[in-house]
Amino acid sequence: MTFNQPQNLKTIAALIGAKFVGDENFQVFGTNEIHMVKPGEIVFVNHPKYYDKALNSPATIILIDKEVDCPEGKALLISDDPFRDFNKINTHFTRIFNFREELHNVEVGEGTFIHPTAVIGNDVTIGKNCHIFPNVVIGDRTVIGDNVVIQANTVLGGDAFYYRKLNGSFDRLISVGNVVIENNVEIGNGCTVDRGVTDSTVIGEGSVLDNQIQIGHDTVIGKKCLIASQTGIAGCCIIEDEVTIWGQVGMASGVRVESGTVLLAKCGVNRDLKKGTYFGPIAEEFREYLRKEVKLKNL
């Protein structure tokens, strides 16, 4: 999430009641998740296991629950609960409406048809010659390009599935990102595309999604990808251009799939994949899988 205007370290520390380490005028441009964070942004960390990853990430402001040595050129915000304070910063700079208020500010391009039963949130942009079918829900800040088809009962911009366990219950990391649908995308019936926690979930130009597909927060789907029904893709994945994903594929968070890859039905992806054709509950190269099956059969 990028702030409407740059803030400084002292202002952010005062907002959350945290101690800071660094120049009080150190500029802060926004917040982001560890997978997506860029220089000038805040990332939070609340477990020693991930301290090094956060401190050595591109983030230049680290919201952390322990005072540690501050890397050169960076700043720290010391908090007793970084998760809570990350939410506090995000919701201070991005108001959450959740369809309780209709302020709208919706832009719709020429030639676009939106069925009367569709529900559209605030600050939404929809391009030219789109077709929005019945009962589609489009959440706040969604951006839709030209010539996009979104079929019935699809939801764009739901909350990210991102929780921590606190005092025996689950505490949500509030989503302040959005969904971006590029030009010439088609999305089938009953799909769900979660908005980014702090960034954008993106469906690339010319991609086609079948029915009943789940795309997690902050995931980026490349151009001209083809995704079949009942596929579930977790958050923060990168699916490069012209990837084909067949039915019931499941993908763990944070993985990257190289351009031109084919994932056959019921494939389970738990790691980055180079270009190839893959199959199996733990994705393996398809020819290797077949060789193994032949060997097992001949035992």
> What residues are labeled active site?
217
Is residue 131 within 8 Å of 186, Cβ to Cβ? no
Rounded to whole angstroms, the Cα distance separating 133 from 131 reads 6
Rounded to whole angstroms, the Cα distance separating 270 from 277 reads 15
Residue 76's nearest CA partner among 6, 23, 11, 36 is 23
Is residue 56 within 8 Å of 34, Cβ to Cβ? no
Cβ-in-10-Å burial (0-12, 13-18, 19+) of 287 comes to exposed
Count CB atoms within 10 A of the CB of residue 119: 12
Q: Pick left, alpha or beta for residue 91 (phi over 0 → left; psi -120 to 50 → alpha; otherwise beta).
A: alpha
